[in-house]
Amino acid sequence: MEIQQLRAVASQVRRDIVRMVAGANSGHPGGSLGCADFLTVLYFEIMKHNPDHFSMDGKGEDLFFLSNGHISPVWYSVLARAGYFPIEELGTFRKINSRLQGHPSVDKKIPGVRMASGSLGQGLSNAIGAALTKKLNRDNALVYSLHGDGELQEGQIWEAAMYAAANKVDNLIATIDYNGRQIDGDVDDVLSLGDLKGKWQAFGWEVLEMDGHDYNSLIGTLNQAKQLTGKGKPIVIIMKTEMGQGVDYMVGSHKWHGVAPNAEQLQLALDQLEETLGDY
């Protein structure tokens, strides 16, 4: 896709996010809005995947694991817009008996979802397992994962990071959504991550950085990461984003981590986001 087309998809994804969360009066709009550009580029430009023939094993396909599962609205929207399930189903988000639970669940058999997530800190371990499976199967496709910055306060992340480097899991590209916000405030105030780039380098990872709202940076860095695979090191990308990107009253505020907009706030948000592909 051209960058203009990718921006159009991301705008619609952001509309989906605020409508889904407002419709359920529950959910996490802030981080979802912040990751809309990244997931749009990943699914519509970077990954090799087949929405028409989804399988849990994903042989021959690139796989994606969402570790910070509370930002499910953005993932559900991108999966639907990419063709994994009907767009109309987005309207069932967090409703009783819906497949689209607040945190992704495999028991609901949602096409595109291969791991239940939301218990923070576990996604990197799962992604490493999938990447090792591909190596054992001589499958040259890649594994991608996404993690929140506050999630890096979990010890399991660093155990997994150590394991991946020691075992040369070099078909894995992990991305950190570094927006500096978590549910209780600024990450630096809750538990500072310090020199995050230096930490990952010390753990033996290849480290890249990118702007999560600049499409040239997103595409260029993700393609650079792909070129670094197969060279003996796992790859991590530290992605700078803004929580609530696209909606002016949400931008940069941890208060919108897990709060749904009311009807008036929803309309204010929609007025700022262009409808490009048609609302569900």
- pLDDT tens-digit profile of 64-93? 999 999 999 999 999 999 999 999 999 999
| Average pLDDT of the residues in 233-248 | 98
Cα separation, 276 vs 8, in Å, equals 6
> What value does the mean pLDDT of the chain take?
97
Question: What single string gives the DSSP state of each residue in 50-82?
Answer: -GGG--SS-TTS-EEEESSGGGHHHHHHHHHHH
Q: How far is CA 267 from CA 59, 90, 250, in A?
A: 43, 18, 13
Cβ 73 vs Cβ 13: under 8 Å = no
Domain extent for 155: 3-272
Q: Considering the domain boundaries, does residue 59 fall inside one?
A: yes
The answer to whether the CB of 156 falls within 8 A of the CB of 45 is no
Is 47 domain-assigned?
Answer: yes
One-letter-per-residue 3-state SS of 165-205: HHCCCCCEEEEEEECCEECCEEHHHHHCCCCHHHHHHHCCC
Residue 32 has pLDDT above 90, yes or no: yes
What pLDDT shows up at residue 108? 86
Task: Look at the chain and report how many structural domains it folds into.
Answer: 1
**Inside any domain, residue 110:** yes
Distance CA 232, CA 95 (A): 45
Cα–Cα distance between 111 and 85 in angstroms, integer?
Answer: 7
CB within 8 Å of 240: residues ≥ 6 apart: 178, 179, 209, 210, 211, 212
pLDDT computed for residue 251 by the predictor: 97
Residue labelled with tokens 């849990």: 56
The confidence band for 53, taking pLDDT boundaries of 50, 70 and 90, is: very high
Evaluate whether residue 278 is within a structural domain. no
Tens digit of each residue's pLDDT (9 = 90 or more) over 104-151? 999 989 999 999 998 999 999 999 999 999 999 999 999 999 999 999
Residue at 202 is within a domain = yes
The tens digit of pLDDT for each residue in 244-260 reads 999 999 999 999 999 99
pLDDT at res. 226: 98
Query: Quick check: is 132 in a domain?
Result: yes
- For residue 209, pLDDT over 90 is answered with yes
Does residue 277 form part of some domain? no
Evaluate whether residue 279 is within a structural domain.
Answer: no
- Return the structure tokens found at 38: 């990244």
Q: What is the pLDDT of residues 144-201, one digit of tens each?
A: 999 999 999 999 999 999 999 999 999 999 999 999 999 999 999 999 999 999 999 9
Question: Tell me, what CATH number does 208's domain have?
Answer: 3.40.50.970
Residue 232 in tokens? 């003996």
44 pLDDT exceeds 90?
yes
CB 280 within 8 A of CB 90: yes
What number of residues does the chain have?
280
Tokens of 139: 């499958």
**Mean pLDDT confidence for 260-268:** 98
